[in-house]
Chains A and B, each alone.
Chain A
Amino acid sequence: MRPDLPLFSSNRFSRNALALGAAAALCAGVLAACSSGSSSTNNNSSSSGNTSNSGSGKPIVVGASLSLTGDFSADGQAFQRGYNLWASDVNKNGGLLGRKVEIKVLNDASSPTQVVTNYQTLFASDHVDLAFGPFSSLLTGPSSAVAARYGYAFVEGAGGAPAVFNTPSNQADHNVFDVSLPIKDEMVPFVNWIQSLPAGQRPKTAAYPMANDPFADPPVQEAQSMLQALGVKTVYSNIFPAEVTAYKAPADQVAAKAPQIVVLGSTDVPTVAAFMQAFEQQHYTPKLFIAAAGPDQGAAFTSAVGKGNAAGMMVPNGWYPGFANAQSQAMVNEYVAKYGGSPSDVNADVAEAYAVGQVMAQAVTATKGTDNSKIISYLHSGVTLSSVQGPVKFDSLGENHAAAAFTFQWQDGGKAFNQVLPTGDTGSKTIIATKPAWTS
């Protein structure tokens, strides 16, 4: 009998090691499931380090926690660029109330627990003057409660899930302000367009795979209930874990059902890319394919999936690089000049972050200071503010109901990202009503 693997001698192998390994696997699994960013590096401040309190002549320090590593790192770093771009513009024009603006960013590694710690640090230890939100509804919910406790106005651009506004802290303190489009209704233009089609041309079947995320599910569930009311039969509706390792099986199941419409509750590019890849491997092309997030990521999306495959992919949003808004165009030009690429490469996250800064700046200017209670009152006063994403007007819970919902589509073989819905809007292009076949 020869010794075989496992190659342990009895004195080397120990039950302790097995137990340690099992514990490590289970802990890692639990951590991965509960906290995608638990593997974060230490916090990093990207500011020059001035964390002084407000005072005449001293910089206004704005604190934010962003996902510079972890699952949301692509979005988090795009957000950081947006915040920095805004601060740079403000400082070029003399600052806010004559004071320079500094952005102090702590890395939350995409972790809902780390983001809470970060804001506690920013508020209780660093005593920042103002607070900007993190990326994603998943992180905005828990961190907004910290902001409420410390009395900060929490202006954010990527926390549009209903769960963010319905937190007890926001219900009590009304301190959350989302400058972007409320996500629940963002697919309504798409459904309205389906409804506008002659009955004979309307798709008959639809699938609704959804990543387990507060951002991804509400718009898809809303679209599902509306499409069902129109007689579109649901052939698949399931929530799957928001982990890249878990996408293939649900994607294959959707492909097997071959629905005419796929409404994907995605959180990022890999989610959409995994579904697209599985569909192509299964020789299935949906007639219409709309995803909650991913196709709005500009070059980050097309470089992952290929321009040819991007053609026909749709995504709802409140902003796009070609948005006919002077402030937006200026920001896009500035971004391209600073970071390179072309306008269609500019990530929507950049505009969301930039708009956060703009809204806060208008509130600070109007209240003539950084008193957060005055800022909260001002933002709830019914005033309409301007931003690169268009008008901003908050309701009592901080949702921006002045934001317009658009649907965008990759067209011209994946080279152009065009607004296609609502039809008839300025700059709206004709929708590609049947997604072109995969091109790999």
Chain B
Amino acid sequence: MARQIYEAIVDGILTGGVYALMAVGLTLIFGVLDIINIAQGVLVILGAYLSYELSVRAGIDLFVGLLITVPAMFIIGVVIHWAFLRRLRGRERTSMTLLVTYAVALIVEGILYKVWGPNYVQLKASYVNSSVHVFGFYLPYIYIYGFILAVALIVALYTLLYRTRFGRSVRATMQDETAARLVGIDVNRVAALTFGVGVAVTAVGGMVYGATSGGFNPNSGYDLISRLLAIIILGGLGSIGGALAASIFMLTLESLVDIWSPNWAIVVFYGALVVVLVIRPTGFFGRQAVRAQ
């Protein structure tokens, strides 16, 4: 039993890294723009399909392909913001974004069905199904790489937000949009670029998801979005590090419960969200925790 528990913990940590890759863009977009991007799951799948296309058609390695898919997804993100979100204003803006991004999800899903059809595909590479033997456990390379990528991505996003002029503009815009305008920040441009960055990082999550899941098709994003929303809420809406912490916490918990009952594991996943929010309404790294620093 002890071995099963250790294995479940390792599983949870590694899988948590994969989920963090998918959730970090979602939390960034909410943190900056107050947009609950329901299309995030479908965009993850779009990222996976772009990696698939590069891998199958051009023989480009999945990780090398990110050099193309990340900028491509950035552009897609900027276009989505420009076309659907920039005009949303007023008190109902956040709730309106739920509807608008749901519409975006349906549009993207429809395009994916048209282009790639309903059959499931899987990303393949030599390291996708292989693993390394460490302390008696087989650790799949793709999960290890995914975890490293998650940490690297979070460091990169922190650097972007705290060590660049763009990051200062972003933070200024969030703290007080009116004041940011007064000091000459182009708030609309910052919003578009931030949405683009949030979608761009989804390309990384999509690639790793496409390689670790049993297969994906245009509909697969809907299984993801509920989990991703739960993760970013638990981590603290807008907290990039919180997304990683919450991913690891939720997936480890689920993995442990899975030993006894897989059906209860999913209940516990969402149950944990409710319990944590009752005890700590701002999540792990919510606003109050930041203020205490």
Contacts and interface: CB of A to CB of B under 8 A. Distances in A.
Contact of A243 (B216, B238, B266): B266
Interface in A45-83: 68-71, 73-74, 76-77
Given A74-B118, A245-B223, A1 B214 contact: no
Contacts of B130: 280-281, 440
Contacts of B274: 26
Interface string B173-213: 01111000000000000000000000000000000000011
Given A9-B176, A245-B227, A249-B11, A268 B36 contact: no
Interface residues of B toward A: which range?
35 or more
Interface in A238-290: 238-241, 243-250, 252-253, 256, 268-277, 280-283
A30 to B, nearest CB: 8
B229 interface: yes
B262 A249 contact: yes
A412 to B, nearest CB: 21
Given A6-B236, A250-B258, A304 B36 contact: no
A74 B227 contact: no
Contacts, number: 248
A235 B88 CA distance: 56
A113 to B, nearest CB: 15
Nearest to B33: A12
Contacts of A71: 219
Contacts of B281: 15, 18
Contacts of B145: none
Interface string A1-31: 1111111111111111110111011101101
A9 B174 contact: yes
B292 to A, nearest CB: 10
A249 B255 contact: yes
B238 A238 contact: no
A438 interface: yes
Interface stretch (B57-65, B66-74, B75-83, B102-110): B102-110
B270 A26 contact: yes
Nearest to A272: B214
Contact of A69 (B94, B113, B226, B282): B113
B275 interface: no
A281 B14 CA distance: 13
Nearest to B137: A282
A245 B224 contact: yes
B2 to A, nearest CB: 12
Interface string B118-152: 11111010101111000000101000000000000
B221 to A, nearest CB: 8
A274 B213 contact: yes
B219 A269 contact: no
Interface in B218-241: 218-220, 222-227, 229-230, 232-233, 236-241
Nearest to A39: B222
A361 interface: no
A26 B242 CA distance: 19
Contacts of A271: 214
Interface string A169-182: 00000000000000
A3 B175 contact: yes
A300 interface: yes
A225 interface: no
A24 B225 CA distance: 10
Interface string A129-158: 000000000000000000000000000000
B116 to A, nearest CB: 11
Contacts of B233: 18, 21-22, 25
B95 interface: yes
B32 A281 contact: no
Contacts of B27: 6
Given A32-B222, A238-B261, A5 B290 contact: yes
Given A16-B94, A271-B214, A249 B265 contact: yes
A248 B15 contact: yes
A71 B30 CA distance: 28
Contact of A12 (B8, B131, B174, B227): B174
B213 A241 contact: no
B38 interface: yes
28 contacts: A5-B31, A5-B242, A6-B242, A6-B285, A6-B286, A7-B161, A14-B94, A17-B94, A21-B30, A21-B232, A28-B38, A32-B222, A33-B266, A39-B106, A41-B109, A69-B118, A73-B118, A74-B120, A110-B219, A240-B258, A241-B265, A248-B11, A273-B122, A277-B128, A280-B130, A281-B129, A305-B122, A440-B128
Interface of A: 1-18, 20-22, 24-26, 28-29, 31-33, 36, 38-39, 41, 68-71, 73-74, 76-77, 110, 212, 238-241, 243-250, 252-253, 256, 268-277, 280-283, 299-300, 303-306, 438, 440
Q: Which 6 A-B pairs have the closest CB atoms?
A: A274-B214, A6-B238, A240-B262, A25-B229, A28-B226, A273-B214
Given A69-B118, A274-B214, 6 more contacts: A6-B31, A12-B34, A17-B36, A36-B223, A69-B219, A74-B119
